[in-house]
Amino acid sequence: MASATTSIPPDSKEPIWKPDRRLIDQSQMKRYLDWLFVKKGLYFRDYHDLWDWSTTDLEDFWRSIWQFFNVQSHRDYQDVIEKPASGMIGTRWFTGATLNYAEHIFRNKTSERPAILFQSEQQSLTSLSWSELEQQVTAIAHYLRENNVRPGDRVVSVLPNIPEAVVAFLATNSVGAIWSSCSPDFGTPSIIDRFRQIEPKVLFAIDGYHYNGKPIDKTDALSDLQTALPTLKKVVWVANLDPDFEPTTGPRSKSILWNSVLQTNTAIPLVFEPVPFEHPIWILFSSGTTGKPKAITHSVGGCLLEHLKALALHQDVQPGDRYFWYSTTGWMMWNYSVASLLVGATLVIYDGSAGYPNMDVLWNLAERARVNHFGAGAAYLLACMRAGLSYVGSSKLVHLKTIGSTGSPLPPEGFRWVYESVKKDVWLVSLSGGTDICSGFVGGCPLLPVYEGEIQCRMLGCKLESFDENAKPIRNELGEMVILEPMPSMPIYFWNDNHNDSAGNQRYKSSYFDQYDGIWRHGDWIKITDRKTVIIYGRSDATLNRDGVRIGTSEVYSAVESVPDVADSLVVCLELPGGRYFMPLFVVLKGQTTDPATELNAEMAQRIRLALRTQYSPRHVPDAIFQVPEIPYTISGKKVEAPVKKILMGISPERVTSRDTLRNPSALDTFILLADSMKSDLLVK
């Protein structure tokens, strides 16, 4: 069992936890180091030496990952990496190789342990064996093939975090089709904005789900979705809310019940379609900060290698472990958690509210399911801390080895709470990455100690630095997070971004490469310490980060400005001390232009909140709504979001923007005044 030290002052440079010799010696990272020495003749003094090699000799490093994890290819690769003449976009990996992600998952099929453990608000803990999983995937895959779903076709899902979602993904991947998913708590306009871009052929839909003890019917909303997606050929309905559900809307020839599909003759074998390494595996969507959400397309091979590396080496997930990460199917952490099946773990999933019927529900699940790796957003861990939950001294959670945190920075008090109130000898794995790579850039290492508020390391193969304003690497200072070398799980392209055109990839380029030529700028403020840990301070761009979930400002504007009273709007999200957030919305009312006395009233504010909640989700609802005379715009017509955010966070206006670049520079004055008046209120919220 790993040792830990917990009575350390917040400003101490001593670690809050250290791995013991047993953890180090039995870790996958140590096995990998030993393998490199025996098989490659490579010796590294410590993790940081290993990281240096992994980011300078990309070809040998990624070849070693392929070999260490015994990646199975139906056709041999010719070259590990082919880099374009400039930049990262267009980098090709393991050229010529053909493989299948789901096939690697089913390499771990066994009768000794379940594949999936599942619990929901309405369903007690149940298990799905590997044999049952294989039978269901076979049936769904056969149905897809029978309905002419071929490699490259898009299959989409609006399912909660239930076993059917995992089955549908594995079946989609096994036939070489491309997966994409939205959580059913998304509003229909938000789902349409995403799925219409990628023209899906098949939809997996849910009749409804439970949340906070309440049934939420989705049949009408998803019937509307069918109408909005003319490319759909088939809709497979999961009867989740009502066991007797029958689809009654839309063309009946398009719809079929999940259980009817499962009745397919499963005597046929499960066949895995080998696809090129760079073939798309899934399309994940950005938050939609500027325009419609970007359809970020990842490769089968890139995600396979990245997930093997991240889960086995950086979180030390071992065969037979039980892996849980609280997520919806609309967050990339769902994809990441499913990848635990790649390394031989049992996947534990939960559908429902993390706070219903009380804040103990997920921890009770961890105890009941004997979870070894428990993950959640930092906001959830902080909510548990504020609720006063404590398990230290009890007999609970004896199987727990790691607690994972991501989505937003976990502050030092969150680290202390884990060790003081959850488990003294647990390894806290704080990681940060994103939808952009469907993994982490920085995360855990079983060979290194944990310091309060700090992420243990930059992950292998990720050449991450912190840049100052002159694009120079810095230490112990706040800087822009950048990636200097390509990674296999970086997007192969954005869907509909003309990636085959010599002048294409414009949205891809503008998302990451607009500030530094050929260098990935991620949009986080970070500090790399002298001990090479990483501290993340929040977003440096305009993306909203609400409780660890990114929200697109364009979605907020779409809903707010559909309210008849509203002429214009602007929204930002402020990171506050203690891991808190404050998301204010600023509105200009239509009546202001003719009657300056027009004022925002409670009824108008309620209509705005209702529009956001109905069209998108509760997370889109602001913490406060302010009326302002006008919204600042650049000369080119873009709302000035990031500078307003920085002004409200107390940064001098002269440092955040030049008034010469603004169409209406006097509009900033309102926010400068608001920054002073809001300062004291925010500190005590």
Summarize pLDDT for 56-95 with one digit per residue, the tens.
Answer: 999 999 999 999 999 999 999 999 999 998 889 999 999 9
Average pLDDT of the residues in 361-374:
98
Would you state the pLDDT for residue 550? 66
More confident residue, 582 or 266: 582
Task: Please tell me whether residue 581 adopts helix, strand or coil conformation.
Answer: strand
The reported pLDDT for the residue numbered 249 is 61
Q: pLDDT of 211-248, one tens digit each?
A: 999 999 999 999 899 999 999 999 999 999 998 898 87
pLDDT at 591: 81
pLDDT, tens digit (0-9, with 9 covering 90-100), for 430-484: 999 989 999 999 999 999 999 999 999 999 999 999 998 889 999 998 889 999 9
The DSSP line for 640-658 is -HHHHHHHHTT--HHHH--
pTM: 0.86
Q: How far is CA 204 from CA 165, 207, 226, 237, 271, in A?
A: 8, 10, 11, 6, 21
Determine the pLDDT at residue 547: 64
What local confidence, expressed as pLDDT, does residue 548 receive? 63
Average pLDDT over the chain, rounded to whole? 90
Confidence tier at 1 by pLDDT (50, 70, 90)? very low
Residue 323: band (very low, low, confident or very high) from pLDDT cuts 50, 70, 90: very high
Which domains occur in the chain, in start order?
A: 21-100+280-459 (3.40.50.12780), 127-273 (3.40.50.980), 552-683 (3.30.300.30)
pLDDT at 683 > cutoff 80 = no
Structure confidence at residue 635 (pLDDT): 60
C-alpha–C-alpha distance, residues 594 and 584, integer Å: 26
pLDDT at 46 over 90: yes
Q: What is the mean pLDDT of residues 659-672?
A: 84
Non-local (6+) Cβ contacts of 459 within 8 A are 309, 310, 314, 439, 440, 441, 442, 443
Reported as a pLDDT band with limits 50, 70 and 90, residue 252 is low
Rounded to an integer, what distance in angstroms lies between the CA atom of residue 651 and that of residue 644? 10
Confidence (pLDDT) at 362: 98
What's the pLDDT score for residue 446? 98
How high is the pLDDT of residue 494?
Answer: 96
Q: Is the pLDDT of residue 38 over 60?
A: yes
Residue 197: what pLDDT? 96
Q: Residue 2 — very low, low, confident or very high, per pLDDT cuts 50/70/90?
A: very low
What is the DSSP track for 289-302?
SSSSPPEEEEEHHH
Q: Evaluate if residue 537 carries a pLDDT over 90.
A: no
Q: What is the pLDDT of residue 182?
A: 94
Q: Residue 346: beta bridge partners?
A: 322
What confidence score (pLDDT) does residue 343 get? 98
pLDDT for 377-394, tens place per residue? Answer: 988 998 899 899 999 888
Q: Is the pLDDT of residue 119 over 60?
A: yes
Contact predicate 546/377, CB 8 Å? no
Structure confidence by residue, pLDDT tens digits, 10-22: 445 799 999 999 9
